[in-house]
Amino acid sequence: MRVERVFERAADLISGSRFCVALTGAGISAESGVPTFRGSNGLWKRYRPEELATPEAFFRDPELVWEFYKWRMEMVLNARPNPAHRALAELERMGILRAVITQNVDDLHREAGSRNVVELHGNIFRVRCTSCPYREDLKESGRAGEFVEETDVPRCPECGSLLRPDVVWFGEALREETIGKAFHLAQEADLMLVVGTSGVVYPAAYLPRVVKEHGGRIIEVNVEESAITPIADVFVQGKAGEVLPVLVNRVEAAKAGENLPQRE
């Protein structure tokens, strides 16, 4: 399909959707300077996830794992939402996008103004105790900057045990409530925008399939084909920060066109 036709088709599907949701991955934050995991310069090309992103790795070497996560926290603290994050927030404001289901832990969707955000893999600015119920949202408490600067391994102010990042590591289950909400949204959706994910990590990668099984359609935005592309109804090849604003502008123009007084 010619590029122009692809954009037209995607914008038409978005404008005509009844219940649109987005599923995003690391690719949507790439233009904010946050590295992806599996691309050519991906984190898992440089580091071994089994040494940095599993419960075993953490209890084996909490200093190393905290060094990795503080490095990522600092990087994300200096990152800003890019036009792709803002385009999804705009679609939500227009009443078209009902929710963003994200695999990202970088908080950039919320920073961009998205309000209904389902964080499948947690949030890098939340920490929790490995022993007691203590948890802290470092952005809310305003302690993110100083937390990153601390050199010691963070410990629980209540019981002294190790604190850990409140993210989902490999081999860990997602929170029941989170995955339940995501699956419910996918069942309701007649359209899912899948943006910047390789589609190889489950259960997130099931969600586009749930949409299809319930008769919904998939628009994928990615710089290259992914494991989701075979089930995409429309594949828009390109950078999310360039593609999504164009699609939202077309949807806004179509909406404005609808509201114009119809000439007799």
Quote the least distance from Cβ 100 to ligand APR, whole Å: 13
Residue 66 or 235: which CB sits closer to ligand APR? 235
Q: Considering only the stretches 4-12, 32-40, 134-142, 144-152, report the one whose residues sit in contact with ligand APR under the rule CB under 6 A.
A: 32-40
Q: Is 69 in the site for ligand APR (CB under 6 A)?
A: no
Look-up of token digits 């996830």: 49
Provide, rounded to whole angstroms, the least separation between the CB of residue 194 and ligand APR: 10
- CA–CA–CA angle 232, 238, 243 (5° rounding): 90
Min. distance of Cβ 167 from Zn ion in angstroms? 18
User: 95 φ, ψ to 5°?
Assistant: 80, 10
In angstroms and rounded to an integer, the radius of gyration of the C-alpha atoms of the chain is 19
By CB under 6 A, tell whether 40 contacts ligand APR: no
Residue 169 burial (CB count, 10 A): 19
Q: Which stretch binds ligand APR (CB under 6 A): 4-12, 34-42, 148-156, 181-189?
A: 34-42
Kind and range of the H or E element at 211? helix 207-213
Tell me how far, at minimum, the Cβ of 238 lies from Zn ion, in Å. 46
The β-bridge relationship of strands 117-119 and 20-24 is unpaired
Contact 255/91 with Cβ under 8 angstroms?
Answer: no
Stretch that binds Zn ion, among 21-29, 131-139, 181-189, 208-216 (CB under 5 A): 131-139
Q: Is 81 in the site for ligand APR (CB under 6 A)?
A: no
Among 239, 247, 248, 251, binds ligand APR (CB under 6 A): 239
Nearer to Zn ion, 160 or 203 (CB): 160
Query: Is the Cβ–Cβ distance between 234 and 6 less than 8 Å?
Result: yes
Cβ proximity of 189 and 166 under 8 Å:
no
SS3 96: coil
The binding site for ligand APR (CB under 6 A) comprises: 25-27, 30-31, 36-39, 42, 103, 121, 196-198, 201, 221-224, 226, 239-240
